Structure 1
Amino acid sequence: MLSSRRQPAEWALHDAVWIGWPSAADLWEDDLGPARAEVEDLIRAVLFPGGDGSGARGEPVHLLARGADAIAAAEIMRERLPEPALLTIHDAPIGDIWLRDTGPVFVKEESGALAASAFAFNGWGGKYRLAKDDEIARIVAELAGVRLRRFDEFTGEGGALETDGEGTFITTRQCLLNANRNPGLSEKDVEAVLKAALDAEKVVWLDEGLAGDHTDGHVDNLARFVAPGKVVCMRPCGEDDPNADVLAAIEKTLAAATDAAGRKLEVVTVPSPGRVELDGEPAAASHMNFYIANQSVVMPVYEKLTGKAAPGHDAAEILKELIDRPYFCAVDSSHILTGGGSFHCISQQQPSRQEDRIRR
């Protein structure tokens, strides 16, 4: 009988983090260099959150890049770091940088062993099918030296799932019940797969995602656990916020929800980025797409697009009080956003092997 496997909370200790490096010049065009600069800023905030390399170290970084030109650029970037050895570059056939979705979900087996689960991947409902992206989960698991178990009867992505590490998950109907991924599956069908793959005991279902989100409503743009029983989401900012109704519905659903332990969720809100546009249309800009590293929280802001420090400053002030980390880094992600996501979308944490077994 296969042992139970549970995805730890993101704030649990990591052995490493896997990050995608912008490699496809034909996809990024003029944003290629600026997007790489923002990924470098993310890496620095994870590795050296104090800013000068003299403070505490974060988890090591594994960077996936494709092709000689991308690897050369990554190596030049690595040499600029205070401790280049903390960054390992892997040549891998990534179609694009969204490792939260194309990579595996790392889990801890009941024995304490690190392992990984993976679902079928179809390019976010067939919208962006890129060569080899459906092989990245296997490649990352092999590089990490962990056993991969596939759940190919179900199509989904890591960015569609948010967990407290204690068996509670949040997701959206727009994504996981979408006919472009799982036609004919019910909520109970999906919950059964998540139980087998990630030991989900309770799933909180939200409805819709952000306007302009090509992922069909990934939850890592909407709501994030920051502690057991505590979840953060966004409130509208500005009269022209394109997500005002969606954000209000999310807050209402979460406020009425309980977790796997039966606790009523404590819901905290931060201001959204407001209306952020790309090519005249709303973009899925979100302060929820933060990454919780061992020593820091890295929250995306979009000042290059909006020209405004607030509401990112206001969101940062709230989040830094909620998440137990010595450093909080608000980092601009405007150019990465042109590809459709932000820092959480391009990263995947590898939990520490030090804990003995899954906590019950």
Structure 2
Amino acid sequence: MPVTTRRRLLRFGAAALPLVALGAALPTVARAATAPSGATLRMPAETDQHVRTFMAWPALSSVWSSHLGAVRRDIATVAHEISRYEPVVMLARPDQAADARYTCGSGAYYGIEVVEIANDDLWIRDFGPTFVVAPGAVAGVDTNFNGWGKTGTSYAQPYANDAAAAATLLGQYGIDRVRAPFVGEGGSLETDGAGTLLATVSSLVNGNRNPGMSQDQVEQGMKSVLGVDKVIWVPGLAGQDITDAHIDCLARFTAPGQVILDKPGPGVDSKWVAVYEETRRILQDATDAQGRRLAITELPGPDRRYIRGRGNDFLSSYTNYYTANGAVLVPQFGDGYADGVAYAILQAAYPGRNVVQLNIDNIASGGGGIHCATQSQPVVPPVA
């Protein structure tokens, strides 16, 4: 199986970044992204109320081979579950839209709308817009998706349609587009909504995305476009998966000052255990934008001997969950004990939400999870 895992026109920019570092394809002017009122646009917490969830219909048999149909059924299952809590919009190629509508079918409580926007794969967290808001305003940050920088490697897959999808989607919904002064993906950005961002060095300060840019330059670009005050960096691990170790499979905010940390289960390669151990050491010593120490809750992964999925690319991480309005959607992998522990931990971390466990083995075989396959559009905060 050849799965390659995985305001009026807003003023924006990163004037502090040298033009040579940005590259010809990126914005040449950079200032903080602001709303018409002058308020700074900020990336909200995923737990804030959503207008809708965006998803994408996997398009290419060249990526998923004979498993494409099964992957599509997993995507339809996730969409149906989310639609119990909020509307879902599914991007699909025009010639595949009818199939998407048929497979998603009827019975969705809030509805599943299929919009005809060309795409290549299902990972809309990475190629879709990352939303930022201010009182009375919303915009979408286009992070200049470049296929995870994997052109010319064994992970390479087509991404031209995915790279254009954020701009097309924002235009269709009449939402202003802000172009980031760096190359990255939504899965590399994790915020508490209160000024703190978690990120891995490996997925952003990497020559395959941002050649010539230092960690400080990437950080200043993220602060300017996402409205964050502090970035907590963890090393991650480059070159061992298609994302170069995105943060959303490793550490997530459940609330300001509170972090869920993925703890690899038995049978996981030792290099990922080392990533976990190093991340834990850093988070234990870190403070957030308000100066608080972080409370860390470990989320143990399943025993690889007892899960249904197989293969080195199979993502057996519960941490790649998605918070919808009133729900937390999380994978279950077939290790009954570990699935139960994950349920209990997430229910305690999100007491006001229903924890919904789903079999997404076909999606996970491509190295991703429910969070990778979703992107939330936040409700615009009211004007005081």
Tell me, yes or no, whether TM beats 0.5: yes
**What is the distance in 2 between the residues matched to 1:8 and 1:285?**
27
Q: Which has the higher strand share?
A: 1
**What is the distance in 2 between the residues matched to 1:129 and 1:257?**
38
Counterpart amino acid of residue 298 in structure 1: L
Tell me which residue corresponds to 1:17: 53
- Once the two structures are superposed, residues 51-74 of structure 1 have per-residue CA deviations (whole angstroms, 9 ceiling, x without a partner) of xxxxxxx11110011142x32222
RMSD: 2.1
Counterpart amino acid of residue 71 in structure 1: A
Tell me which residue corresponds to 2:289: 260
Tell me which residue corresponds to 2:353: 326
**What is the distance in 2 between the residues matched to 1:346 and 1:237?**
23
Structure 1: gaps of 5 or more residues: 49-57
**What is the distance in 2 between the residues matched to 1:213 and 1:278?**
17
Q: Is the 8 A contact 1:141 1:147 kept in 2?
A: yes
**What is the distance in 1 between the residues matched to 2:136 and 2:366?**
37
Q: Is the 8 A contact 2:198 2:233 kept in 1?
A: yes
**What is the distance in 1 between the residues matched to 2:242 and 2:344?**
29
Give the superposition deviation at 1:177.
Answer: 0.8
Q: Summarize the alignment of residues 28-39 of structure 1 with structure 2, pairs less than 5 Å apart.
A: 28-39=64-75
Give the superposition deviation at 1:236.
Answer: 3.1
Q: Is the 8 A contact 1:241 1:274 kept in 2?
A: no
Q: Structure 1 residues 182 and 210, CA, compared in 2 at 3 Å: closer, same or farther?
A: closer
Give the superposition deviation at 1:209.
Answer: 4.3
Selected match of 1:344 from 347, 371, 375? 371
- Once the two structures are superposed, residues 175-202 of structure 1 have per-residue CA deviations (whole angstroms, 9 ceiling, x without a partner) of 1111111122122111110111101211
1:59 pairs with 2:81: no
Q: Is the 8 A contact 1:191 1:200 kept in 2?
A: no
Tell me which residue corresponds to 2:146: 122
Q: Structure 1 residues 227 and 207, CA, compared in 2 at 3 Å: closer, same or farther?
A: same
**What is the distance in 2 between the residues matched to 1:130 and 1:347?**
17
Counterpart amino acid of residue 323 in structure 2: I
Secondary structure of 1:182's aligned partner: coil
1:134 pairs with 2:163: yes
Q: Is the 8 A contact 1:258 1:265 kept in 2?
A: yes
**What is the distance in 1 between the residues matched to 2:76 and 2:50?**
19
**What is the distance in 1 between the residues matched to 2:382 and 2:342?**
32
Selected match of 1:295 from 321, 326, 334? 326
Q: How many aligned positions are there?
A: 340
Q: Summarize the alignment of residues 1-360 of structure 1 with structure 2, pairs less than 5 Å apart.
A: 2-3=33-34, 4-48=40-84, 58-68=85-95, 70-83=96-109, 86-109=111-134, 111-126=135-150, 127-151=156-180, 153-209=181-237, 212-238=240-266, 241-242=269-270, 243-275=272-304, 280-281=311-312, 283-303=314-334, 308-356=335-383
Secondary structure of 2:348's aligned partner: helix
**What is the distance in 1 between the residues matched to 2:187 and 2:108?**
31
Give the superposition deviation at 1:286.
Answer: 1.3
Q: Is the 8 A contact 1:59 1:294 kept in 2?
A: yes
**What is the distance in 2 between the residues matched to 1:99 and 1:33?**
18
Tell me which residue corresponds to 2:18: none
Tell me which residue corresponds to 2:16: none
- Once the two structures are superposed, residues 273-319 of structure 1 have per-residue CA deviations (whole angstroms, 9 ceiling, x without a partner) of 3447977435333111100000210012233xxxx223222112101
Structure 2: gaps of 5 or more residues: 1-10, 12-32, 35-39, 151-155
Q: Structure 1 residues 174 and 210, CA, compared in 2 at 3 Å: closer, same or farther?
A: closer
Q: Structure 1 residues 202 and 100, CA, compared in 2 at 3 Å: closer, same or farther?
A: same
Counterpart amino acid of residue 33 in structure 1: G
- Scaled by the length of structure 2, the TM-score of the pair is 0.83
- Scaled by the length of structure 1, the TM-score of the pair is 0.88
